[in-house]
Structure 1
Amino acid sequence: MNQTKAMDAVRKKFKNLGLKNNLEIVYSARKGIKPTIFYSFADVAKMTEQNLADLLHLHPRTIQNRRSQQKNLDPVEGEHLLKLIALFVKGEELFGSIDEFNSWLHKPSWQHKEKPSELLSTPGGTDLIADELERLVHGYAV
């Protein structure tokens, strides 16, 4: 499978979640996000379940319990997860691969002392990184 098809596969995997804009994300989160999305995203993002759970301020056992009890994530948790998914879709499109995007996330920004990945633990921080990606798309240095 070539790289373009791999990117399409990631985008297609999460296309039914309503990730086009923040309003769609809020509506989707309020409808309910299944814990299986958490595991699928951790796999695609090449992130450990522990690291992803930490970003969402959850214990991995909580996610496991919700999956076994067939309970959705809370809307706030679901919204944050959807914002992360949307960010990684955008990052993969911009950088060409999840590996390259992850590499960029873990390098300090020239404007800030923090690495972009350090801002992902809140929905607002995730939005800031999405804004930086949008500036990169348009040729601005970030």
Structure 2
Amino acid sequence: MKKHDDTNRPETQAPIRQYTEYDMQVSMVHDLIAPYHTMFKSPLAKLEAIKQGLQPASLSALLKVTEVTQADIARWLDITEPTLRKHIQGDNSLNPGLSEHVIQLLELFDKGVDTFGQLNEFKSWLRHYNPGIDAIPFDMLDTITGIGIVMSELIRIDYGVTA
């Protein structure tokens, strides 16, 4: 029996993946949020981080992830823009109230990117009236309860229960 020779056959290679702007944007969001993932998974880890206070870098991460203005972040956190800038530039840990709000917002944006697959899709969804919650989600991010309502709506979207 003659042995088959494969030496002259071209090797099949996996196609080279072209990274799109979408891939880079999602990767950037995941990279910025990665340090907070353990807090999202464990309520006790989240509580400990809240009590210790997040580092000011968490505010910079929030600004980069959300791609909203400092005015929007200040409004969500119920502080002035100058106070927000002082926190960002400072060395002191955030107080528990701010820490909790920042963690909840980061977790929401992580979930939103996961649900919609793209940051821009999620951001667009946030700014439009949603009949399921009878509000514009973006306008609800100034309270922990509002963030919880928006998070619940994302979970309903994941499961296909939008009405």
TM-score scaled to structure 2, two decimals?
Answer: 0.78
Q: Partner letter of residue 97 of structure 1?
A: Q
Distance 1:136 1:86 in 2: 16
Partner of 1:99: 120
Superposed structure 1 runs of 4+ greater than 4 Å apart:
none
Contact map agreement 1:35 1:63 (CA 8 A) in 2: no
CA-based RMSD of the aligned residues comes to 1.8
Deviation at 1:20, TM superposition (A): 2.1
Secondary structure in 2 aligned to 1:19? helix
Aligned positions, number = 142
Tell me which of the two structures has the higher relative contact order, counting C-alpha pairs closer than 8 angstroms and 6 or more residues apart: 1
- Flag the 1:99–1:21 CA change in 2: closer, same or farther, 3 A: farther
Partner of 1:58: 79
Q: Which runs of 5+ in 1 are unaligned?
A: none
Distance 1:133 1:40 in 2: 22
Deviation at 1:5, TM superposition (A): 5.0
Distance 1:68 1:113 in 2: 37
Contact map agreement 2:53 2:95 (CA 8 A) in 1: yes
Q: How big is each residue's C-alpha offset from its partner over 1:78-106, in whole Å with a ceiling of 9 and x where there is no partner?
A: 10111000000110111121111011011
Which stretch of the first structure deviates more once superposed, 93-102 or 62-71? Answer: 62-71
Q: Which among 101, 111, 122 is matched to residue 132 of structure 2?
A: 111
1:27 aligns with 2:41: no
TM-score scaled to structure 1, two decimals?
Answer: 0.88
Deviation at 1:43, TM superposition (A): 1.9
1:1-142 alignment runs, 5 A limit = 1-2=19-20, 3-17=22-36, 18-142=39-163
Contact map agreement 1:109 1:115 (CA 8 A) in 2: yes
Q: Which runs of 5+ in 2 are unaligned?
A: 1-18
Distance 1:14 1:55 in 2: 18
- Flag the 1:129–1:24 CA change in 2: closer, same or farther, 3 A: farther
